[in-house]
């Protein structure tokens, strides 16, 4: 049985990667103390990381899949 690829940072065998994305939302505050959702900006993704140590392994989906297919 072959293991999957290993994280170059922590050395753990990986069967998946985590995709790290951030999304920013702006809200409007009215005088009565209520918030209204105003606008959500486009999601920005920084890449695919090791689920154990957070090391950046790939900056796009194609590279992430290529990495995960190693040793298969």
Question: Over the stretch 51-65, which tens digit does the pLDDT of each residue have?
Answer: 999 999 999 999 999
pTM: 0.71
DSSP class of residue 26 equals: E
Q: What is the pLDDT of residue 23?
A: 84
Residue 28's region, left for phi above 0, alpha for psi from -120 to 50, else beta, is beta
pLDDT at 37: 73
Mean pLDDT of the chain, nearest integer: 89
Average pLDDT over residues 30-50: 85
**What is the pLDDT confidence band of residue 72, given thresholds at 50, 70 and 90?**
low
């Amino acid at each position: 049985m072959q293991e999957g690829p290993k994280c170059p940072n922590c050395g753990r065998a990986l069967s998946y990667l985590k995709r790290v994305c951030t999304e920013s939302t702006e809200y409007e505050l009215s005088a009565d103390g209520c918030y209204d959702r105003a606008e959500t900006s486009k999601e920005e993704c920084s890449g695919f990381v090791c689920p154990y140590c957070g090391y950046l392994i790939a900056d796009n989906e194609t590279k992430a899949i290529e990495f995960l297919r190693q040793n298969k």
